[in-house]
Amino acid sequence: MRAELAQVAFELFRREGFDKVTLDDLAAAAGVSRSTFLRYFGTKEDAVLAAFDGHDRRVADALRARPADEGDWTALRRALDTVIGRYHEDPAGALATTRLVRETPALCARHLEKQRSWTPALAEALAERAGNPESVTLGQTVRAAAALDCLNVALDHWTASDGRLDLVTLLDEAFAALAPAPASAPTPR
């Protein structure tokens, strides 16, 4: 039922515009009462952002599952494959959802707020990988936050290209831009 309501809401938002649709409109379009709709989604933003529920847990679990000898930055990049899988399964739907979220200020703000809560979960997963789960370092927190920023920048470029650019390539490029430089040989004196 929740998935059906979310789909009806999404289609109505795409057709009418997020700001023009009320909770009563959503309930009517879904053929349920307002109270039934509110039982599944507390706000109309929640009806759209439900598509992202559990992403933080999936990425953190994927991060924990990465090989122990893999560097944090590479592990973060590979772990994000769990959330971009939908972009391969349904590129048109993913583009429409991403565009709706990015182009609707209320949705964009709520999504970024929710995504900000992923940082501690990812930093904790990095600490677990390092064998020190009770002590998250500043560096682990920074890497987790930077990885999410790379994801957002890649999504922005992908959306701006109307889905013509490859999201995986964009994400790889974003990560490469911040990849740690290889250690260089000491300069002779």
Q: Do domains 2-47 and 54-178 have the same CATH topology?
A: no
How far, rounded to the nearest angstrom, does the alpha carbon of residue 68 sit from its chain's CA centroid? 24
* 3-state secondary structure labels for all residues of 130-159: CCCCCCCCHHHHHHHHHHHHHHHHHHHHHH
**pLDDT tens profile 26-73:** 999 999 999 999 999 989 899 888 888 888 999 999 999 999 899 999
Model confidence at 189, pLDDT cuts 50, 70, 90, reads low
Residue 29's CB is within 10 A of a number of other CB atoms, namely 17
CATH T-level topology, domain 54-178? Tetracycline Repressor; domain 2 (1.10.357)
Write the pLDDT tens digit of every residue in 104-141.
Answer: 999 999 999 989 999 999 999 999 999 998 899 999 99
- pLDDT at 85 > cutoff 90: no
Assign residue 106 a region (left: φ > 0; alpha: ψ between -120 and 50; beta: otherwise).
Answer: alpha
Domain boundaries, the chain: 2-47, 54-178
What superfamily in CATH does domain 2-47 come from?
Homeodomain-like (1.10.10.60)
